[in-house]
Chain A
């Protein structure tokens, strides 16, 4: 019986929303916009972390960097001889990882220099290459963005300035796949010797040493041993890089949620206002319902269902639009804030995933405050006395 009653009340609340369609549409449009903003942000963050996680899979398990005065400096390749004694280390690969500022284009490029042959994950890098092959002497593999900046029609050659302003010429030997854009978009991948030459680094010096480990569960122990053997270095694990990405994205989205909460707050005030400003007709309607046998609790239920229907519709609309925005328009509104670690913005395709947790999160941030804000106005309308229908 009670179930049937609720069905009837839902029936009535649908017709009531329809009868006040202008007012309800106003609330729904604003609400859907707030939900759209929050959900877009959440989905962008989530999609970016997923991309970062996927691309980091090929990162070395341990990276060793030399520190001086709290800052990173070049590390001698010779350090690797010290590490050979540690059991469990599979390979040690010297790497140069740096940035090159391209003045005419005003863009920051990432330079990655290592010997593909000596790399256990040269394979992985090979797979990331779309066309062409791994670089030989005086050759480089370019990310999609870097390629667009540096290549000139009809020529596979391009030149970069060394710090002493002499020119270094390189040949394009291939490009990276678009799917790895988040990490390779602005990247130039070349041999260790070429990178050393480009940055004019002294012979035998690199930026870091990449260590791979036979048994992944030994990563913490091996890191500790490395740190003990080379006290002037910083040892970073892949898991840590992952967590850092996650934390940074988390901060950004948390910060954004707080900013968007102000949008939500103004919406709540707007909703409160709409819900509590009862017109004489609405008051009349409630008093008629009550005198012909509706309980105060029935009117409360009516208002609850109205709120739930309005927020469900707004949620579905806002969430769907957010998905479209992130998946098909590449989150055009937010990408600059969320990525922004290079002037070149990867034009990568974001694939938002819809999972219950994220959905519930957005729901809690939007629908819950809305429902909570409408309780008191709902109650105010529900306690209109029945006898006012008589006057």
Chain B
């Protein structure tokens, strides 16, 4: 058995700690995820899926407990170092893709490389390879607001992959896609998994939860891992 890539131990996350509007979003979550698997987080709205995904994605550290992501302990790590770790290890795909509409496709894809100090030419080279792989090269210089939903999705995937992170996180990626696009998305994810990426999705979409590529489903209820 390989060592887990993601290891959470009694992770709690409390929003607005010590205040009247305190929310205990996660409570004593412990789990381990090996590299190269595809996992789906499943749960009702407000159960804490996004919160858990944020902790795995190094967006914020847990309030208490231990979280080791790709060999690094996140416990109370300052934001600056979380960000450094995040950009090296995590690729995010969002529900609404979160593509900046005013920028071109190419600019959107290379956005994560800018603060790394990578020169424009090198940025473009990397993006072109990915765009070729995802067959959106012909849209490279289109403003993002002018392209179709399916293309937008592949732009989002390209942006998540641009820094070649070992972990891909997708929060409700298919919530706004029709059946064929959702299937196409899962196909790409499957390919990425074959290429060795660890993929974690959240969804209530049966198409994802019942997809043959999804090896493991983690059910969350009221901020706790639900063992059926």
Question: Which A residues lie at the B interface, using CB under 8 A?
Answer: 1-5, 7-9, 11-12, 15, 19, 284-285, 288-298, 385-387, 389-391
Contact = CB atoms under 8 A, between A and B. Distances in A.
Contacts of A291: 57, 59, 86, 92, 98
Contacts of A294: 83, 114-115
B60 A285 contact: no
B54 A295 contact: no
B118 A284 contact: no
Contacts of B120: 8, 11
B94 A9 contact: no
A249 B102 CA distance: 51
Nearest to A6: B117
A24 B113 CA distance: 26
B107 A293 contact: no
Interface residues of B, number: 32
A108 to B, nearest CB: 63
B46 to A, nearest CB: 12
Nearest to A292: B112
Contacts of A3: 117
B100, B115, B118, B119: most-surrounded residue (chain A CB, <10 A): B115
Contacts of A385: 60
B119 A4 contact: yes
A391 B107 CA distance: 23
Contacts of B116: 5, 293
A296 B117 CA distance: 16
Contacts of B177: none
A292 B159 contact: yes
B226 to A, nearest CB: 22
A300 to B, nearest CB: 12
B80 A390 contact: no
A4 B50 CA distance: 34
Nearest to B81: A295
B50 A391 contact: yes
A386 B94 CA distance: 13
B224 interface: no
Interface string B58-92: 01100000000000000000011001101100001
A295 B115 CA distance: 8
Contacts of A296: 79-80
Contact of B98 (A4, A298, A389): A389
B171 interface: yes
Interface string B92-130: 101000101011000100011111111110000000000
Contacts of B111: 288-289, 292
Contacts of B115: 5, 8-9, 293-295, 298
Given A11-B120, A19-B102, A284-B98, A387 B54 contact: yes
A59 to B, nearest CB: 62
A295 B83 contact: yes
Nearest to B80: A295
Given A8-B118, A390-B171, A290 B50 contact: no
A101 to B, nearest CB: 67
Nearest to A296: B79
B53 interface: yes
B163 interface: yes
Nearest to B86: A293
Q: Of A5, A288, A390, which is in contact with the most chain B CB atoms at under 10 Å from its CB? A: A390
A4 B118 contact: yes
A297 B78 CA distance: 13
